[in-house]
Structure 1
Amino acid sequence: MEQATASESDTTGAEAHSNTLAPVIHTAIGKGKAVAAWRLPHTNEAHVAVSLQDSFTPTPPTLENSPFGFLFCPFQESEPAPNLFIKADLYISQATGKLTAAIDAPAPEVADFMQALELGSTTPQRSWHTSNAGVQQQSDLHFQDAVAAAVAAIKEEQMEKVVLSRNSILPLPLHLDLAAVFEQMCQKHSRAFVSVVSVPGVGTWAGASPEILVSINEQQVFHTVALAGTQPATESVADAIWRQKEIEEQAMVERYILLCFKSLRLREYTEIGPRTVVAGNLMHLRTDFKVDLKEVDFPSLGTDMLRLLHPTSAVCGLPKAPALQFILEHEGYDRSYYSGFLGPVNSKAGTHLFVNLRCMQLLKDKAIIYAGAGITAESDPVKEWMETQHKMVAMQRILQQF
């Protein structure tokens, strides 16, 4: 990634135009540019960044010295699924409605994009960047067999926990529109990190994630969470009753975060939880960990914790090495960007990276919906399959709106 200090404040309004977000998304797709739209949890302001660069691959991902942009990284980096950085050469927020160009954005490309935006998009519905990779689907029986094999391996003490996932392929509605998908997710998932990412040659993903991976806000407070355990949401979180299986699953994620802090010799942190939280149609157990970087001299904590955490025990397992090996040998398909991480870097609101959960990939005429479940010694293959079904509901409901 190039070294730069560009941020949202480093913009010029000389070529600013008043726009809604949808025309910017449509124009980016029509011009073959990478685009990311997002909205942070518990906020009303949506954002869109467009990259005018030819390359989107930072190696390795860094946070502290990055220009303002959007990071999009897979579960396991590979040639078809590289780490991506969508530099915010062009940026618009819902609050201002003005599209601004970064100071170092290439001027000819900026002018060309602005002219296309003024003329209006001719991009039809069902238009977005699609992946060059083939489609893989895992059968229900394969998933349940993998769960049974995982339980056996855990009882043989090969590992403590492993997270297994599966996908489901659905036909796309005829009148689907990418900007409208983003708007629907914002309306229906106020507590989640909502995003749409579309990159030439890589594809298009949409999701509403409940899980913070690494966050550093404008007050310089570092934040990460342990999120695990799943059950259908009730009318009140006070009515939630958690089984020992979910309690222990969540405790494993907590212990891993604490081990990461210990490896960095970090002792000054606050811990709140576990508590029950609602995410869409589901409830989870969550513990929050925070570090005030104004009081703790640890300027690289964000990047260091990102390196240690990903893939987290909430999407991989414990210990990480045997769990990851089990996933690669038994899951039966490529997760790609599912259970990777994504989010804005060095925005005015800070850096906020989330695990890519409750998500789907949009192909030309199909959607691939992804979900996973934490497997322990007490897991039942049918119940774990049902948990993944519950988790897929969020994206299924979005598609049903069209």
Structure 2
Amino acid sequence: MAVLSEEQTMLRDMARDWTSNESPVNAWRKVRDADDGAGFDASVYGEMAQMGWSGIVVPEAYGGSDFGWLSLGLVIEELGKTVTASPLAASALAASAIALGGSDEQKQKWLPGIASGEIVATLAVDEGPRHDPDAIKASVSGGKLSGAKAFVAEGDSAGLFVVAAADGLYLVAGDAAGVSRSRRHLTDFRSHAEVSFDSADADKLAGGGDDLLGKVLDRARVLAAAEMLGMAGQAFETTLAYLKQRVQFGQVLATFQALQHRMANLYSDIELMRSAVEAGLAAIDSGGDTRQAAILAKVKANEVGHLMSREMVQLHGGIGMTDEYDAGFYLKRMRVLEAMWGNTAALRDRFATLNGY
């Protein structure tokens, strides 16, 4: 477990208290049932912004706190515990792309609004059903971007898109002429829009080195893993509490040795997952090569998150299959996050390639 500063401990505890009291799982159930395309409660995100969460990775010069990725990961983890829906992660990733590759003019134009929560920003990368940054066909000619992006997280409400084109990343305003969106329904009921760009005005992010997209995707993988960590941890705690009170054949389920062994193995897996995620966040904060650490974090999160969410449903028995119970929320969101920014097979292949195999 990472050693936290006093400020980071206070931030984590504040996020934990706020999510428990102000954004429990029932709050997400209400958002889901409302079936709004945005996929989150704007007033709730406004509260997050007031607490400074939307500016955690934004430089101080542009209205943020520059508190680091480990700090942001702590907040994302707590939000994952209650499956709270918000554009916090998507906006942070878009802000990181601008901070890494933007000009001062671009930073001044967009980062203060993202830090204050006034602007929802997001990445638009993949063009097919699977994550494949090597298959990007969107192109820019004369400052006009054309192409289509599938399953853009927070795409229904985004006021700014950071779009991956064949020759780099571009900024496209959400209200620009030529931008159109259509809602996509995925099992987690969050916002995943198909966004089309038809000769839309685009402003290139010219800095950040040769692999700006790669650096941003590393951050995306680790943040997704942080959310999965929170979900896996809460799924474990909820399941353990259920086993301790459910009586079957005249005995409490937690007294069965086979179930004790399963829970012990799951606990160990989640602790390994935590180590991998925190190492990924620390690698970003250190400013070094984040590629391998990000892959390890996401792969471990994919594996453990898949297992824990499945075990949660199974160990709850029949009630775990019902919509009235919360287990399904964790299972469904976890499956979507597994596919985002690279599934296990794709990331293992990338890891092997990085190591010369």
TM-score normalised by the chain length of structure 1: 0.24
Larger helix proportion, structure 1 or 2? Answer: 2
TM-score normalised by the chain length of structure 2: 0.27
Larger strand proportion, structure 1 or 2? Answer: 1
| Greater RCO structure (CA 8 Å; 6+ sep) | 1
